[in-house]
Structure 1
């Protein structure tokens, strides 16, 4: 059986640099195996790879980038994430979920809470301290979503499968 497939949004270059910088600064280095990301699906079966590529191409080809915003700080038990709001990206994900209905794991069937994890696997007190600091300075801001990507999950590492740009 092949490795499961992850689907994520691709950020614009400036937003990726900002988010990945936050992640590198606050995520424990020994656990930080992938760059900053916004996951749409965390476990799709490898057998659907050709169909998934077609669906991701159809969702992005000739389509404008979905408007998105970083809307707040999300506290995790042992980390911190940034909330993302994007009705257009929500709709794209809902259409993909409907298309692949019956193939989704429980976590991917549950309600989607779009976020970008910038810290995880730390002591709760460290997570609270970072969340407090970020909340004090937080201002909502636009987030450039440049495309969608598929990745093969390789035991913590992500192997690129395909990238699909909007526009």
Structure 2
């Protein structure tokens, strides 16, 4: 029997995470909202290779922290997501992906489109209405990325395994 898969997520600064959690609390069906807001970088890294996963994450995080632009909204069919953009995020993800070339799940081997799901499991017409409502009041904003989290998938909630921080570097409120 193989170990449960590992999920890697981008960790955002505390203030941005609170704001995103508030959006999920407002728009996500409460009975389905088992997780805090997150940016999934990988859905299923090999759980039986935990030391290798942690080493790859640690190596990819050896870089300055960076800003992530929240640029808009995207339909998920039965949900709505905020779209995130940062070339640095793409580079961190590519570095981890390279360490698992040929061993990524089909989903993780596909192109990466960074996002935070703020609503899901809605009837399609409700999701379309929510997208229109959120788009009408949307203004782009910036969040600071602070590192990468690794979690074990347990069929619902995730078990935290490790967090690896980026170097602090310059950024908002830093000299």
TM-score by length of 1: 0.96
Aligned equivalents of 1:2 and 1:57: distance in 2? 21
Displacement of 1:22 in angstroms is 0.2
Q: Tell me, what secondary structure is at the counterpart of 1:144? A: strand
Q: Aligned partners of 2:135, 2:89: CA distance in 1, in Å?
A: 25
Counterpart of 1:34? 35
Provide structure 1 residue ranges, at least 5 long, that are not aligned to the other structure: none
For the 8 Å contact 2:61–2:92, the answer to whether it is kept is no
Cα displacement string for residues 92-112 of structure 1 (whole angstroms, at most 9, x for unaligned residues): 101111111111011100011
Q: What value does the CA root-mean-square deviation take over the aligned residues?
A: 0.9
Q: Aligned residue for 1:103?
A: 103
What is the match of residue 127 of structure 1? Answer: 127
Quick one: distance in 1 between partners of 2:3 and 2:32? 23
Displacement of 1:64 in angstroms is 1.3
Equivalent residue for 1:60? Answer: 61
Q: Report the equivalent of 1:13.
A: 14
Matched, 1:44 2:56: no
Deviation of the 1:53 alpha carbon: 0.9
Number of aligned pairs?
166
1:125-151 Cα shifts (integer Å, max 9, x gaps): 111111111101111111111110100
Secondary structure of 1:95's match? helix
Give the TM-score normalised by structure 2.
0.92
Indicate yes or no: 2:56 matched with 1:85: no
Query: Cα offset for 1:67?
Result: 2.3
Question: For the residues of structure 2 that align with 1:149 and 1:75, how far apart are their CA atoms?
Answer: 26
